[in-house]
């Protein structure tokens, strides 16, 4: 199953357009989490205490862990998130907070090192930027979580940048990026 984590807020999102071309190329059974509609709840002190108690009991069937269970069982993951303020929308960070559940997506070795439990072999990160794209606090963060903590061995960045800079044709850039994805080898 391909999990599509859609962190695009705008209805006419350029990031979502590119991601959907990728999803069409990948084919297969797909599930979408649209974070603008299915918004995860942040971990408050009360929710964190409840979560900790459930993890200590090994009770992962609770609805609180639905995002983590879905993420853990995906074969491929596609995250689409626009580049906002040198990162991504806050709802994606909240989603990842809900996904990172010890015992489902990760465990710790006796030395205290995270060991991933996710099934996915690849995570795609799709983004668009109005100006130049700098991956430090967006893709690089996602890549580190995927490879170091979730056990996903491969990540790939799909990016279109300079979309809101005078002198650049946003529609052409988006179309060329989508065309590259549509024609790329799997």
Which tens digit of pLDDT belongs to each residue from 33-61? 999 999 999 999 999 999 999 999 999 99
Asked if the model's pLDDT at residue 147 lies above 50, the reply is yes
| CATH label of the domain that carries residue 65 | 3.40.50.360
Asked if the model's pLDDT at residue 73 lies above 70, the reply is yes
Number of domains observed in the structure of the chain: 1
CA atoms within 13 A on the CB side of 62: 17
| CA gap 77, 73 in Å, rounded | 10
Share above pLDDT 70 across residues of the chain, in percent, rounded to a whole number: 98
Asked if the model's pLDDT at residue 185 lies above 80, the reply is no
Q: State the average pLDDT for the chain.
A: 95
The CA dihedral of 11, 12, 16, 17, to the nearest 10 degrees, is 150
Could you tell me the residue range of the domain that residue 12 belongs to?
2-183
**pLDDT at position 183:** 82
**pLDDT at position 186:** 41
| CA gap 33, 19 in Å, rounded | 13
Contact between residue 22 and residue 181 where contact means Cβ atoms under 8 Å apart: yes
Sign of CA dihedral 94, 96, 98, 101: negative
């Amino acid at each position: 199953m391909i999990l599509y984590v859609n962190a695009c807020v705008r209805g006419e999102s350029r990031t979502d357009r590119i991601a959907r071309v990728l999803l069409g190329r990948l084919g297969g059974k797909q599930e979408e989490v649209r974070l603008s509609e299915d918004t995860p709840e942040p971990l408050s002190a009360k929710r964190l205490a409840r979560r900790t108690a459930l993890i200590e009991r090994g009770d992962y069937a609770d609805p609180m862990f639905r995002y983590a269970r879905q993420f853990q069982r995906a074969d491929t993951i596609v995250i689409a998130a626009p580049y906002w303020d040198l990162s991504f929308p806050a709802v994606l960070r909240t989603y990842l907070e809900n996904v990172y559940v010890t015992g489902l997506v990760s465990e710790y070795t006796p030395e205290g090192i995270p060991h991933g439990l996710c099934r996915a072999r690849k995570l795609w990160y799709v983004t668009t930027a109005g100006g130049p794209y700098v991956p430090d606090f967006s893709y690089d963060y996602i890549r580190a979580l995927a490879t170091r903590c979730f056990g996903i061995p491969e990540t790939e960045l799909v990016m279109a940048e300079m979309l809101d800079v005078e002198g650049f044709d946003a529609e052409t850039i988006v179309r060329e990026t989508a065309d590259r994805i549509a024609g790329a080898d799997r």
